[in-house]
Chains A and B, each alone.
Chain A
């Protein structure tokens, strides 16, 4: 049995074939497809215009003209608007009180109320920010014709259209590598034990690790380069940076999988025990929920998994075009993790050999 046989055995078994080849190939495509429409456009909104004045109508026109919002209904009382919201026909209500125009013309600040369905956070963002932008454009009649005292520019960097897929996939892609590698190896080792085959020696087990490493170098190239390119996600990573990140990341993820695989004695249990951790690990990377807002305890726990430094480094290199020197600490963490996982793996192997009275 050589290395070539170890690679072949991944393809021979239906289970590892699905987990280590088919899922990494197809999953990112499915995910990217789900988020092809990346931004909120024309979300339905209802306007309640009690003021019924030229001023309020102008605001509604301008609000309607923003790309995010479409004022689909104009009603004359709040009850009707609430009904529309309850029927999920609109996701926000913009309300102009009776004295809206009057206040504007008598030098009082005139409030507009915006009620938004908080079931969907992105709707709130779209409705509120576009209303805010329209608000900023409005000038008091006294100031009409005068330029603003200060001009304020907003520059969105990196993910310039604020695409949802472009943000989420950058975090999911490295995570897919870790999770499928982990599931496939645990399943293979579990199957061996379930069949009652002899426990692998350290050398044999490491050779399996190397087989996965080689396979995932190819898959990693596909996931981290081809998929972002195919779906037009931001792609600012250089070849040198990609290799500098991918080598330690795959070493860390492979040794992690080798360590975890020691715990499995059955073919299917890895599914139950590991599949649900993906969502938890995604949150721990800090991509969707800011790291600074996490309790300190979870910030520390996050460092136990290769996905945390891996995902963070990949986002910074690929989505933000950072220099490789900016993420050097993540690379060191990945290498340190690999050393610790390997040490624990050897210790685990030793304990198992002692229990089964087999050779290491």
Chain B
């Protein structure tokens, strides 16, 4: 009997909570964000970005060289243009990310040993595409030297390996620690998705204040998606992570605590719903830049480096890349971990004022 009564009251509490939480938006926004970013970046590394060739020489030698270019990793020759103007226009139209020019008289110069030129043009206005195309095109130097020099040196009785050693004595082999395949999903999704979720959490909290219980219930409804996201990318998509599960969950939890503290702090200071939401969205949108995931904070203006400590996402990102991506012990990132804890404790600073605001808050436009 007792149990039934308890169950019943528990059920009623649940119903009450359920009615106070608007489920629709958090579910749609949370799931959409997760699915959008993970599927958008699904390819991990862009493959076959379009580039073009302008062959003004039109000989069998340049044709052979072009064939060698087909071995590029992330780019693909999609067009041959008759002149440079056409290639440049294709670039301006956004059709190709770069082009290679074999000038007129290339073969003639080559055969008479007068050092012919090859030029490659890159579009650096489109960053990622330009950079990837550059990585490939830099290998042109090596490839073209090899193609031409091989025959000569082989004739002198050298083995293929010796020929390569002479043409390219050193070989730099790149290794990316923590992200063995250079997968962009790992470094974009892992920062942008939590960033969007915490932006929404702070906005929802400010929207429902001063009704603390409703604010927290709705905020946490949104926050659940941070955990769903982590479970999805590490559990199902199996993105690499050196850190253990409890570390992932701990820093996610700390992040949610930090932004909750931040939102309550802002509400206590700025008792207007409009203004507190404005500040939170300003903070949230700036976080993406200030986290340093795109452009490193160390390279920013010293003043900005100091300001970056004011953004919870920055602390999360640093803790994430040290503890989760690389699996270093938590003690290494103690600055950032304690930063998150301090954010969570912010409301204590303004406890009296917060209580006063909650009691006396009047909604004004």
Contact = CB atoms under 8 A, between A and B. Distances in A.
B196 interface: yes
Contacts of A114: 172-175
Given A123-B296, A140-B166, A290-B128, A149 B42 contact: no
B270 interface: no
B122 interface: yes
A293 B49 contact: yes
A315 B126 contact: yes
Given A34-B300, A118-B325, A268-B273, A316 B196 contact: no
Among B207, B298, B326: residue with most chain A CB under 10 A: B298
A156 to B, nearest CB: 5
A232 interface: no
B119 to A, nearest CB: 4
B165 A109 contact: yes
A308 B285 CA distance: 19
Contacts of B300: 34, 36-37
Tell me what chain B mostly uses at the interface: helix, strand, loop, or mixed.
Answer: helix
B33 interface: yes
Interface in B138-176: 138, 140-142, 144-145, 148-149, 158, 161-162, 164-176
Given A149-B145, A155-B122, A290-B129, A119 B196 contact: no
B183 to A, nearest CB: 9
Contacts of A112: 170-173
A250 to B, nearest CB: 22
B149 A149 contact: yes
B127 A116 contact: no
B177 A115 contact: yes
Contact of B172 (A33, A37, A85, A131): A131
Given A167-B126, A272-B203, A155 B119 contact: yes
Contacts of A150: 110, 115-118, 141, 144-145, 148
Contacts of A119: 178, 187, 293, 321-322, 325-326
Interface stretch (B4-12, B86-94, B338-346): B86-94
Given A150-B117, A267-B365, A59 B92 contact: no
A158 interface: yes
Given A34-B300, A279-B288, A315 B125 contact: yes
Interface in A151-186: 151-160, 162, 164, 166-168, 170
A122 B296 CA distance: 7
A357 B170 CA distance: 80
B72 interface: no
B210 to A, nearest CB: 14
A319 interface: yes
A167 to B, nearest CB: 4
A118 B40 CA distance: 20
Is the interface on chain B under 10, 10 to 19, 20 to 34, or 35 or more residues? 35 or more
A275 B199 contact: yes
Interface stretch (A206-214, A217-225, A320-328): A320-328
A104 interface: yes
Among A120, A283, A326: residue with most chain B CB under 10 A: A120
B20 interface: no
A147 to B, nearest CB: 5
A83 to B, nearest CB: 10
Interface stretch (B228-236, B274-282, B349-357): B274-282
A234 B125 contact: yes
Interface string B296-315: 10111100100000000000
B29 interface: yes
A24 B158 CA distance: 66
A52 interface: no
A272 B25 contact: yes
A8 to B, nearest CB: 17
A31 B186 contact: no
Contacts of A231: none
A201 interface: no
A196 to B, nearest CB: 13
A136 B117 contact: no
A18 interface: yes
B261 interface: no
Q: Identify the 8 closest CB pairs spanning chains A and B, nearest first.
A: A118-B179, A119-B321, A293-B46, A322-B92, A158-B125, A118-B176, A159-B124, A319-B125
Interface of A: 13-15, 18, 30-31, 33-37, 39-41, 43, 59, 85-88, 103-104, 107-125, 128-129, 131-133, 135-136, 138-140, 142-143, 147-160, 162, 164, 166-168, 170, 191, 234, 267-269, 271-273, 275-276, 278-280, 283, 287-295, 297-298, 312, 315-316, 319-323, 326-327
6 contacts: A107-B165, A131-B172, A132-B172, A273-B29, A316-B93, A320-B91
Given A140-B165, A271-B278, 5 more contacts: A107-B158, A149-B110, A155-B122, A290-B97, A297-B39
